[in-house]
């Protein structure tokens, strides 16, 4: 189905099932521990052996020799495969780091061997007996030392973009602001580690794995193993969190396949947390300079955002300037991204790549500029709203309700009670402050397919390689099929994550829900027409409701169409150029209240609110869960999360969930989420957009702004830890 014009009225608009706050249909499996995650797929193939991956002890160098004699002689060992046994494996287009093969070391804990044994303990013990001789090389591990010489980055986003004459406009602006902010390296820290079971049958391999993008995984496995893609099957029905860390092929899948081939039996591999934090990917640190020029009444006339991040050769930048190109008005604009070469593990996508880190800086800068102007920070943002792309004024936003998000949020949160004078509000020993930030994330559209079956008794089965990373994909896909075919939710079965199914959008970048359901919509439209013709009805007039089909005064049960056997239809949503004609984005207003202990400096988040404008909300219950989870992640980024770099040895020191701190229940108060009543017919037939990453973008800055309002101490280097502000707290009287 081609989607090349705004959606008109369609069956989804009935909102009989879609749009309802529906419990997750797989929820019982997850809460009872019976949902089969990758490492737990004990039943898919017999005689599974265990693989343990060995990583490089140095961040850069050349392997001279690997002694595996002790490992091979260890009890229970079936096979040992080392990186010297084969040339460097070809990497897919999404990977910067090479995953295996060859003698060159690019980063610490790069995989250099796998030991396969009858038990996990035997494999781990044998791995400790491997001896490696490496000629080490010096490397670059400190972003701050590379900023001055970092070249412009090259990628999909222009590394240097100018509109108007920023330099002149900034130099002549009555009010100017210029500050630098830093964000640290961050880990995805998902609950389920990267894990894979691999089994060969002849020249074909099946991977039961944890991966967000099934088609990409299948392609890249085939590339690495030098076999046809049709000889690779990837199955990933349940994923215990990914946040972008499982978008691309990683070492667990490749080494499970190599280990299984060497052992002649199925092999299962799970990366330990200390290993995966250095072996896989992370959000790269940034150094961001933001300049704002404005009139005395608060109109922005010049805005610049320049960001530097680091990565391995072939890697991309953290695109921290992307939101600044679109969020606020201003005739004279400058954005740039520079990319330093670092010999740290690969930097790549993490939830809301670009905007999450970029808004951590931009939305503090907006608060600081508002204070310099003597303006309320909410009003400053509203004053500089734009309904068109600031770089292309003839290109409108499809829907843009940022102002309403901020106004409604301010009213609901009680913003009028905020004291604009920092450190002016106390409750006993606690300093109280409120903070605000805008939220922004682009809406991305991409082709997505599905297969829909109508079987005996009117049972509907949906098959697509779409994944569920805890986001509720099973439920919203079932809701879509139930709405389109006029059946109850219980009559729909959903099969996800299998590469034998049609290729979908996959889970990532906030694009999954809208595109995947639109693909199901397309397949259901085809099935509706097939059913109508089978029953002798006019497809354009047929109404599907209550398990029946009617048109022209004739009435049939849906199951009547299957008297001669199952009906199967497959289609995909394919987009025209609407996303080029209109800027499609999502917006939010984030509000936070914090309390800071005047004596100890302890920060407590007390209240949080997100008001979101993101098209039609397909399932308010699961959408709210996505947003409050993202808000929680924003608190972590603001106050806790930082991968500490050993700048002499080139690795992340706090590489486990004991040293890498994330929020727990006790850290998070009650969170409110408000969704604006909105549809966006330019986005898709579902009239929806993504929301999961929008809930993160801006939250950290709202926390930081609240801390400043409470204490009068401005911290521009995340995370906001005690060492950065304790000595500057107001004097306790």
The residues that are catalytic are: 693
Instruction: Please state the three-class secondary structure of 220-240 as a single string.
Output: HHHHHHCCCHHHEEEECCCCC
Question: How many residues comprise the chain?
Answer: 733
User: How far apart are the C-alpha atoms of 263 and 187, rounded to whole Å?
Assistant: 33
| Three-point CA angle 211, 214, 218, nearest 5° | 110
Q: By the 8 A CB rule, do 38 and 192 touch?
A: yes
H-state helical runs in 535-611: 578-581
Strand partners, 199: 206
Residues contacting 424, CB < 8 A, separation 6+ = none
Ramachandran sector of residue 515 (left: φ over 0; alpha: ψ -120 to 50; beta: rest): alpha
Give phi and psi for 355, each to the nearest 5.
-65, -35
Peptide bond into 719 cis (omega under 30): yes
Encoding tokens for residue 514? Answer: 């809208």
- SS3 assignment, position 555: strand
Encoding tokens for residue 197? Answer: 């079971």
Largest CA distance in the chain: 86
Closest by Cα among 262, 211, 730, 163 to 469: 211
Ramachandran sector of residue 264 (left: φ over 0; alpha: ψ -120 to 50; beta: rest): left
- SS3 assignment, position 369: helix
CB neighbours (10 Å) of residue 264? 12
| Burial (CB count within 10 angstroms: exposed 0-12, middle 13-18, buried 19+), residue 717 | middle
User: How far apart are the C-alpha atoms of 330 and 299, rounded to whole Å?
Assistant: 8
Distances (CA, A) of 128 to 86, 260, 267, 434: 22, 20, 19, 52
Encoding tokens for residue 648? Answer: 């002499």
> In b/e form, how buried is each residue of 636-657, taking b as 16+ CB within 10 angstroms?
bbbbbbbbebeeeebbbebbee
Radius of gyration over every alpha carbon of the chain, rounded to an integer in angstroms: 27
Closest by Cα among 683, 698, 505 to 587: 698
Give the chain's end-to-end CA distance (angstroms, integer). 69
User: How far apart are the C-alpha atoms of 344 and 60, rounded to whole Å?
Assistant: 9
Closest by Cα among 202, 56, 74 to 136: 56
Encoding tokens for residue 578? Answer: 């609407």
Q: By the 8 A CB rule, do 638 and 700 touch?
A: yes
Q: By the 8 A CB rule, do 573 and 638 touch?
A: no
Encoding tokens for residue 396? Answer: 């409108």
Closest by Cα among 497, 445, 596, 19 to 246: 497
Q: By the 8 A CB rule, do 413 and 706 touch?
A: no
Q: By the 8 A CB rule, do 524 and 258 touch?
A: no
CB neighbours (10 Å) of residue 261? 17
User: How far apart are the C-alpha atoms of 213 and 207, rounded to whole Å?
Assistant: 13
User: How far apart are the C-alpha atoms of 439 and 366, rounded to whole Å?
Assistant: 13
């Amino acid at each position: 189905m081609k989607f090349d014009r705004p959606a008109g009225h369609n069956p989804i608009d009935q909102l009989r099932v879609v749009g309802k706050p529906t419990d997750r249909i797989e929820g019982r499996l997850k809460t009872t521990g019976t949902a089969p995650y990758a490492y737990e797929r004990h039943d898919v193939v017999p005689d599974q052996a265990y693989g343990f991956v060995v990583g490089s002890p140095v961040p850069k160098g050349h392997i001279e020799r690997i002694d595996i004699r002790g490992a091979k002689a260890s009890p229970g060992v079936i096979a040992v495969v080392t990186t010297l046994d084969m040339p460097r494996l070809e990497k897919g287009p999404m990977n910067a780091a090479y995953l295996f093969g060859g003698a060159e070391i690019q980063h610490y804990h790069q995989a250099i061997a796998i030991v396969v044994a009858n038990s996990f303990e035997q494999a781990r013990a044998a791995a400790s007996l491997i001896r490696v001789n490496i000629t080490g090389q010096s490397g670059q591990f400190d972003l701050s030392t590379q900023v001055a010489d970092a070249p412009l980055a090259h990628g999909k986003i222009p590394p240097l973009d100018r509109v108007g004459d920023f330099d002149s406009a900034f130099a002549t602006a009555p009010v100017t602001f210029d500050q630098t902010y830093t964000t640290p390296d961050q880990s995805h820290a998902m609950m389920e580690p990267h894990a894979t079971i691999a089994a060969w049958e002849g020249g074909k391999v099946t991977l039961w794995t944890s991966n967000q993008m099934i088609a990409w995984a299948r392609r890249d496995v085939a590339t690495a193993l030098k076999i046809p893609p049709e000889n690779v099957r990837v199955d990933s029905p349940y994923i215990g969190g990914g946040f972008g860390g499982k978008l691309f092929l990683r070492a667990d899948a490749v080494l499970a396949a190599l280990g299984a081939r060497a052992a002649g039996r199925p092999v299962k591999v799970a990366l330990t947390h200390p290993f995966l934090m250095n072996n896989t990917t992370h959000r790269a640190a940034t150094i961001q300079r933001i300049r704002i020029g404005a009139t005395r009444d608060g109109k922005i006339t010049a805005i610049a955002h320049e960001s530097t991040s680091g990565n391995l050769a072939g890697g991309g930048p953290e695109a921290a300037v992307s939101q600044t190109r679109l969020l606020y008005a201003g005739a004279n604009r400058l954005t740039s991204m520079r990319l330093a070469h670092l010999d740290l593990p690969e930097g790549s996508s993490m939830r809301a790549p670009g905007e999450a880190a970029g808004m951590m800086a931009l939305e503090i800068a907006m608060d600081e500029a508002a204070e310099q102007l003597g303006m309320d920070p909410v009003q400053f943002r509203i004053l500089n709203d734009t309904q068109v792309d600031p770089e292309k004024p003839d290109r409108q936003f499809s829907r843009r309700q940022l102002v309403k998000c901020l106004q409604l949020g301010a009213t609901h949160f009680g913003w009028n009670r905020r004291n604009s004078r920092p450190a002016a509000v106390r409750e006993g020993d606690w300093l109280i402050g409120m903070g605000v930030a805008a939220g922004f994330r682009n809406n991305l559209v991409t082709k997505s397919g599905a297969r829909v079956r109508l079987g005996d008794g009117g049972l509907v089965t949906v098959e697509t390689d779409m994944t569920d990373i805890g986001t509720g994909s099973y439920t919203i896909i079932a809701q879509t099929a139930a709405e389109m075919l006029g059946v109850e939710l219980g009559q729909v079965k959903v099969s996800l994550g299998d590469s034998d199914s049609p290729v979908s959008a996959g889970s990532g970048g906030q694009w999954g829900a809208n595109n995947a359901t639109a693909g199901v919509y397309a397949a259901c439209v085809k099935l509706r027409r097939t059913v109508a013709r089978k029953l002798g009805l006019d497809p354009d007039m047929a109404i599907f409701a209550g398990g029946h089909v009617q048109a022209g005064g004739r009435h049939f049960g849906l199951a009547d169409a299957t008297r001669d056997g199952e009906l199967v239809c497959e289609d995909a949503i394919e987009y025209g150029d609407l996303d080029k004609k209109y800027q499609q984005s999502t917006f939010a207003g984030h509000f936070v209240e914090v309390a800071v202990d005047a004596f100890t400096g302890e920060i407590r988040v007390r209240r949080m609110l997100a008001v979101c404008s993101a098209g039609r909300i397909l399932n308010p219950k699961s959408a709210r869960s996505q947003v409050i989870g993202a808000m929680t992640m924003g608190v972590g980024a603001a106050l806790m999360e930082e991968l500490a770099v050993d700048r002499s040895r080139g690795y992340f020191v706090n590489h486990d969930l004991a040293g890498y701190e994330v929020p727990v229940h006790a850290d998070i108060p009650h969170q409110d989420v408000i969704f604006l009543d909105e549809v966006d017919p330019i986005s898709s037939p579902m009239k929806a957009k993504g929301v999961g990453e929008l809930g993160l973008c801006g939250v950290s800055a709202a926390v930081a702004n609240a801390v400043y309002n409470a204490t009068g101490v401005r911290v521009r280097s995340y995370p906001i830890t005690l060492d950065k502000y304790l000595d500057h707290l107001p004097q306790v009287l």
